[in-house]
A and B are shown apart, each in its own frame.
Chain A
Amino acid sequence: MMGSSEALRFASCLGIGETDFLRALRAQESAAVTVVIKEYTPVLYRTAVGFGLAADHADEVVQLTWTGFFNALPRFEGRSQIKTFLTAILVNKVRELRRSQAKTGASASIEAVCDSQFDAEGNWNTRPIEPEQFYQATQTLNHLNECLEDLAETHRMALLLREWEERPKAEICNILAVSETNLRVMVHRAKTKLRECLEEKAFAPIGL
């Protein structure tokens, strides 16, 4: 049984019960397929593009996600929402795509970034720049775009799902298969790395 408000909503749209809805979806009947794909394809595109994929790659990943969804549907027990289940598949497809592009986020040296902020006494090595200057540096968004590319894939996904999509922490943990503590660390690290990268790119001395 699905037992989710989401399934009830879909079933209600079709004038059937939850169990019948799930059966129809598994049988890939037109009405059930239509209602689910119409609801979630825009969400999947939004998430894929948010992860940094270009439009053609987003097309590919969204198609692969739906293929994966219908292949896995017989094993879907309804313990999570369809949206969560789909997003978890999307995340795996994006990771596969990135691996095939050899962009695994190996450049994410966040430990070094954190360490370099402070001296042996625990004082800041360099004071963060004034907020007004920092604000100016983020305005064109070009630097931010470049810096996002340097983030570890999972950190970027965590940042998007939490900061942009504002999904509940428990759902993101389910999608990324991490604990809530790990999620908090990942989002914090992503923001710290972005901040450091922006300072470096926007305020690097000319000629260096």
Chain B
Amino acid sequence: MVGTCQHITEKVALSTETSAFQKLQIGAHLGICQACWLYFAQLKILRKSYRRLVAQRLAALSGEHVSQQTSLLIERFTKK
């Protein structure tokens, strides 16, 4: 069956030409093609991995360092 994959048309049309996505094969589920299903499944995984990466970066910054810098900033910006 050939037609418009509604899911990808809605999402990707944000950044590129809608006409490029008019002939995608409709999959058996959810009215989207299999490739688009894989695409959006990947984006969900990416979101989780991205959040884990940022958490890892933040963990590398010690609370003690931030606390020391905070004290220095208060000292610097308070008018005597």
Contact = CB atoms under 8 A, between A and B. Distances in A.
A191 B49 contact: no
Interface in B5-50: 11-12, 14-16, 19-25, 33-35, 38-39, 41-43, 45-47, 49-50
Given A128-B35, A188-B14, A50 B54 contact: yes
B51 A41 contact: no
- Taking residues whose C-beta sits less than 8 angstroms from the other chain, chain B's interface range is 35 or more
A127 B38 contact: yes
Q: Is the interface of B mostly helix, strand, loop or mixed?
A: helix
Given A138-B45, A139-B49, A131 B38 contact: yes
A45 interface: yes
A28 interface: yes
Contacts of A70: 77
B49 A144 contact: yes
Interface centre among B16, B22, B23 (most CB of A within 10 A): B16
A198 B54 CA distance: 16
Interface string A102-118: 00000000110011001
Interface of A: 27-30, 33-34, 37-38, 41-42, 45-46, 49-50, 52, 55, 58-59, 62-63, 66, 70, 110-111, 114-115, 118, 121-124, 127-131, 134-135, 138-139, 141, 144-145, 148, 159-160, 163-164, 184-185, 188-189, 191-192, 194-195, 198-199
Q: Which 7 A-B pairs have the closest CB atoms?
A: A138-B49, A128-B38, A28-B79, A131-B41, A122-B23, A124-B35, A41-B70
30 contacts: A29-B78, A45-B69, A46-B58, A49-B58, A50-B54, A52-B57, A55-B61, A66-B73, A111-B16, A114-B12, A114-B16, A118-B20, A118-B21, A122-B22, A123-B23, A124-B24, A130-B38, A131-B41, A131-B45, A138-B46, A141-B49, A141-B52, A145-B53, A159-B50, A163-B50, A188-B11, A191-B43, A191-B46, A195-B46, A198-B46
Interface of B: 11-12, 14-16, 19-25, 33-35, 38-39, 41-43, 45-47, 49-54, 56-58, 60-61, 65-66, 69-70, 73-74, 76-79
